[in-house]
Homo-oligomer: A and B are copies of this chain.
Amino acid sequence: MFELDIRSRKAIYEQLVDRIKELIINQVLQPDEKLPSVRMLAKQLTINPNTIQKAYRELEQQGYLYSIQGKGSFVAPVEVMHNEMKLNEVKSQLLKLISEAVYLGLTKEDLLTLYEEAKQKMEGGDENDDRDS
């Protein structure tokens, strides 16, 4: 579930951040669900606990997790207010990436296909799904 590539150029803690963020976005990890403890996960992945902690801390700063002393780390519920700033950041990144993709031949249809794909993955993780949103 949290497998990572030790040989990758990308820093281990960054891989973890990306992977966990993905699990949250696709609702595999539900709001307020507890994540593995720093030490447990460290043992399981055979990496240093500090590395896990750094990833958790980063996710906390980005608003995806919250952690409680002596209890553990948990998935943060989405809060619309706080996200507007983040959405604008992501939009700016998207504009750049879409530009590059279009330059390389991406069509509007391709883009919409990707959108549907993203949607589908998110609904797939939601067990209480009522079919279409």
Contact = CB atoms under 8 A, between A and B. Distances in A.
A83 B69 CA distance: 29
Pairs A-B, 3 closest by C-beta atoms: A99-B118, A25-B103, A87-B104
A3 interface: no
Nearest to A60: B9
Interface of A: 6-7, 9, 11, 18, 21-22, 24-26, 61, 66-69, 74, 76, 78, 80, 83-84, 86-87, 90-91, 93-106, 108, 110-112, 114-115, 117-119, 121-122
Given A87-B105, A95-B118, A115-B108, A100 B7 contact: no
Given A22-B99, A68-B7, A69-B11, A115 B104 contact: no
A33 to B, nearest CB: 13
Contact of A22 (B67, B96, B119): B96
Contacts of A97: 90, 93-94, 97
A102 B133 CA distance: 12
A61 B74 CA distance: 22
